[in-house]
Structure 1
Amino acid sequence: MKHSRKDFLYSLSMLAAGAAITSPLTGFSQSKKLKVVLVGTGIRGITFWGKRLIDQYNDKLEFVGLCDTNSGRLKYAKSFMEVNCNTYTDFNKMLQDQKPDLIIVCTKDSDHDEYIVKGLDFGCDVLTEKPLTTDEVKCQKIIDAEKRSNKKLIVGFNYRWGPYMTKIKELIQNGAIGEVTSVDFNWYLNVHHGASYFRRWHGLMNEGGSLWVHKATHHFDLLNWWLDSDPEEVFAYGSLDHYGKNGPFRGTNCRTCVHKNSCKYYWDITKSNQYMKLYVDNEKHDGYFRDGCVYRNEIDIYDKMSAQIKYANNAVVNYSLTTYSPYEGWKIAFNGHKGRIEAWLDIPFLKNEQVNQQDLHAKEMNQNLADDQTSDPVILYKNGEDYSVINVIAERGGHGGGDKRMHDYLFKSPNASDPYRHTAGLKDGVMSILVGIAARKSIEQKKPIKIGDLTTIKPAKS
């Protein structure tokens, strides 16, 4: 049986919904590739959702259009990705000209809804970088758009796909500790990676929705997936205590700052040839500084956060995010009726190792470190028994091996067995951001916020 591109994308969307399918690639050839367009040509777009797809899946897809509001970044993106397609500053014109099968959205978070809705309404399937969007109003627009279209949305939650994360899912799903009743989850961003959010547009609430949404959407999605339950209520605290107005001095950006010799957050963008060509050379088009001052007064997001989340299955989660830690990593513990699971990554003293914190994030983002394998333990305690250590082998690069596994499943072998439902669709994207949105509202209103009050997608009763 011969399948059309429509069948291909429909199958992908069914994967996002967790349905079993047959291979959607049957009948495809070099002459019938998936027509893809990319909107948002920042570093994430042109590398992970751009050049990597071209390098790895050139026989399955082709880029037929690139779009960005910055014409200079567009020119660099086309050269870097080595594609021979048209570039556009007008998204609607790109859709009319190219009539793509799939739209990949990698713009600022606050603009995701515009391109997702337009894409679905035009009759395209859409794959968006996380987070889905930044507030409940935009979220509802996306929900309504998918409902009225016959197309689907996939959210790029790569963390799910890593072997370490999957082992935790496997243990919980197979009942290793029985019903999970409570979770403690702590995430630490170091002063290199954590500070980078405050240099960029992510430091503005109206552009990134705060790190409750932009960063923690990953963490909340993992929790929702691990627990196989929907969040019901959130109570949170948060404040801006370290960056922004708290700084001893401030400037516009690092390159021009008179305090560069005394600022512990000085970052020399000129050391990156790619960042210079992609961002600095194109500041004249929109005034965006990639090396913005972490102490500028306009920063209004939180830099320390904690929340308590109640789930539909009665599990309670205590979560925290710190953005100025001396090391980067995370720790989690699940308590169940039959035992406890403890897990962690990149906590230096727990492995008795010294880690170059400045290089740590670069290694995680590197897609070419398949041979740099790691072995990390998951500790399983069972009531009345000795604990056991389960060593999980994974890769250092590509977000612990999650990146390549997600891409392979979406674009190479979507008919492969996936007993742990890794692929994330609309509801997954919605539920992950609603936890962060509810946390933000809880801080503002000083009260618990019910997830069911925010959109028409309600938490499913367990």
Structure 2
Amino acid sequence: MKKSRREFIFSISMLAASSTIPLNAFAFNESKKLKVALVGTGIRGITFWGKRLVDEYSDILKFVGLSDINSSRLEYGKTYIGTKCPTFSSFEEMVKKTKPDLIIVTTKDSTHHEFIIKGLQMGCDVLTEKPLTIDEIKCQQILDAESASNKNLIVGFNYRWSPYATKIKELLAKNTIGDLVSVDFNWYLNTYHGASYFRRWHGEMESSGSLWVHKATHHFDLLNWWIDSEPNEVFAYGDLEFYGKNGAFRGPNCRTCSHKSTCEFYWDINKDNFLKKLYVDHEHEDGYIRDNCLFREDINIYDKMSAQVKYTDNTVLNYSLTTYSPFEGWRVAFNGTKGRIEAWLDIPYYENATMDEAEKHTSEMSQNGKEEVTVKPIVVHKLWKQFETINVDMEKSGHGGGDKRLHDKIFINPEIPDPYGRTAGVRDGAMSILIGIAARKSIESGKPIKVSNLTDLIPKAKRA
């Protein structure tokens, strides 16, 4: 009974199975809580997948193990999360000794596949932070491992769960603008948030697969879900023209740089007490410098990116990602046979923006849940008719309210059917990164890339 109970808990949590038995009907006590193990104690791991789970769901789950290669950060993470579970430098030892029901992977992107595959092979269900992985070879290895196991894998896509994104999905699903023809999607990272990727390991292709994968996986997942089809072919342009070798000067890192007084990007990490305690105080163990120079020579990802994606249902997507915009926000337009939908968030010219650009990302990532609900517009313009503005209630914090809704679906309301299909499995994770991987290959070759040539997944005209 114990094994079937665990399988039931996670299968309904992760994949929204058809069972109508509510999770709370089992009246779990301390010995029957879902046993969770976390590998990777960076900021996303200890906040969203750590402390928030302890604060909000301790009655139905408990951490049984934490693992990281940095032992001192591991101990800090344990304290921050608020758990008394044991810690491990060895992932395999943690799994063998603690026998978790669920493993959460929040390590460096290039190592996701290692822990996903080992977790599945060791008989555990696995939840991984986005992106699924960074290249098509690792992607295929994950697909094979998931297929060979009797366990489940989910990718933690949270943007789907924000009320604003969900309203767009609802309008498209209702055929509001007829058959979809094309989509224009532009994402703007400002000189605070955008720059932060180039300070970290994300600026190195071998660690992140570039922002085509690490960041754009969010966007491509949203687009695949909105369009309700899978990508068939990708053609892209990209270059590194601002950060990295393009800088007029450089230093070892911001703290020790001789150009502090003249560099517009100078950032004092020691003024952020949380980041100092999480990273600076432990960098002596693994050498991970959180405030690296934006202009160091080993940055080799793209800082300007544009792609055209043809979907299997013949919808065409025009996509761009800007990494040093004066503002942070995004806009999307859907063109259909009966009209057009336009949506945007945080475009300062379209709204009375009051938040400082430096605070935008911090606010979005916040998990305090105390922010007041705001109203954001979506414009629907049907052919030969006046446009209509639809107002949507949403929060700014927690990825537009998506974070808490994703958690509630996984841990509180798995039995409630979701008409929008927001739970993301391994195929969703693969299809989102394969667009970015194909874009990289297109830039390198100067040719369009067929998604079907990357793994054994055959894109479908209608999402699986």
TM above 0.5, one fold? Answer: yes
Return the offset for 1:262.
0.7
Matched, 1:4 2:1: no
Comparing 144-153 and 412-421, the one that deviates more: 412-421
Partners of 1:376 and 1:393 within 8 A in 2: yes
Partners of 2:346 and 2:353 within 8 A in 1: no
Return the offset for 1:24.
5.6
Partner of 1:176: 176
Q: TM-score, normalised by structure 1?
A: 0.98
Return the offset for 1:251.
1.1
Partners of 1:14 and 1:21 within 8 A in 2: no
Matches within 5 A, 1:16-415: 19-23=17-21, 25=23, 26-31=25-30, 32-415=32-415
Distance, in Å, in 2 between the alignment partners of 1:21 and 1:147 is 22
Partner-residue secondary structure (3-state), 1:111 = helix
Distance, in Å, in 2 between the alignment partners of 1:254 and 1:321 is 26
Return the offset for 1:72.
1.1
Partners of 1:372 and 1:397 within 8 A in 2: no
Partners of 1:363 and 1:369 within 8 A in 2: no
CA separation of 1:361 and 1:13: change in aligned 2, threshold 3 A: closer
Q: TM-score, normalised by structure 2?
A: 0.97
Distance, in Å, in 2 between the alignment partners of 1:258 and 1:172 is 53
Return the offset for 1:12.
2.6
Distance, in Å, in 1 between the alignment partners of 2:368 and 2:46 is 16
Matched, 1:457 2:457: yes
Comparing 293-302 and 361-370, the one that deviates more: 361-370
Partner of 1:416: 416
Distance, in Å, in 2 between the alignment partners of 1:380 and 1:419 is 21
Equivalences, count: 459
Partner-residue secondary structure (3-state), 1:313 = coil
Partner-residue secondary structure (3-state), 1:234 = strand
Distance, in Å, in 2 between the alignment partners of 1:21 and 1:406 is 19
Partners of 2:14 and 2:423 within 8 A in 1: no
Instruction: Summarize deviations over 1:373-407 as a string: whole Å, max 9, x none.
Output: 21110000111111100000101110100000000
Distance, in Å, in 1 between the alignment partners of 2:403 and 2:14 is 19
Distance, in Å, in 2 between the alignment partners of 1:320 and 1:280 is 34
How high is the sequence identity, in percent, across the aligned residues?
Answer: 62
Give the residue type in structure 1 aligned to 2:168. Answer: I
Give the residue type in structure 2 aligned to 1:343. Answer: A
Unaligned runs of 5+ residues in structure 1 are none
Return the offset for 1:10.
2.0
Partners of 1:370 and 1:396 within 8 A in 2: no
Return the offset for 1:28.
4.2
Partner of 1:14: 15
Partner of 1:447: 447
Instruction: Summarize deviations over 1:243-302 as a string: whole Å, max 9, x none.
Output: 000011111111011111111111110011111111111111011100111110000000
Return the offset for 1:349.
1.1
Return the offset for 1:105.
0.1
Distance, in Å, in 2 between the alignment partners of 1:199 and 1:330 is 23
Partner-residue secondary structure (3-state), 1:266 = coil
Partner-residue secondary structure (3-state), 1:458 = coil
Runs of 4+ aligned structure 1 residues displaced above 6 Å come to: none
Give the residue type in structure 1 aligned to 2:415. Answer: N
Return the offset for 1:76.
0.3
Distance, in Å, in 1 between the alignment partners of 2:374 and 2:206 is 38
Instruction: Summarize deviations over 1:209-254 as a string: whole Å, max 9, x none.
Output: 0000000000000000001100000000000010000011111111
Give the residue type in structure 1 aligned to 2:9. Answer: F
CA separation of 1:159 and 1:362: change in aligned 2, threshold 3 A: same
Instruction: Summarize deviations over 1:6-31 as a string: whole Å, max 9, x none.
Output: 2111223432xxx5332462314123
Partner-residue secondary structure (3-state), 2:160 = helix
Distance, in Å, in 2 between the alignment partners of 1:461 and 1:354 is 42
CA separation of 1:354 and 1:59: change in aligned 2, threshold 3 A: closer
Give the residue type in structure 2 aligned to 1:396. Answer: K
Return the offset for 1:353.
3.1
Return the offset for 1:108.
0.2
Partner-residue secondary structure (3-state), 1:350 = coil
Distance, in Å, in 2 between the alignment partners of 1:28 and 1:431 is 38
Partner-residue secondary structure (3-state), 2:119 = helix
Partner-residue secondary structure (3-state), 2:401 = helix
Comparing 201-210 and 6-15, the one that deviates more: 6-15
Partner-residue secondary structure (3-state), 2:349 = helix
Return the offset for 1:82.
1.4
**RMSD value, Cα:** 1.2
Distance, in Å, in 2 between the alignment partners of 1:458 and 1:240 is 32
Distance, in Å, in 2 between the alignment partners of 1:335 and 1:10 is 37
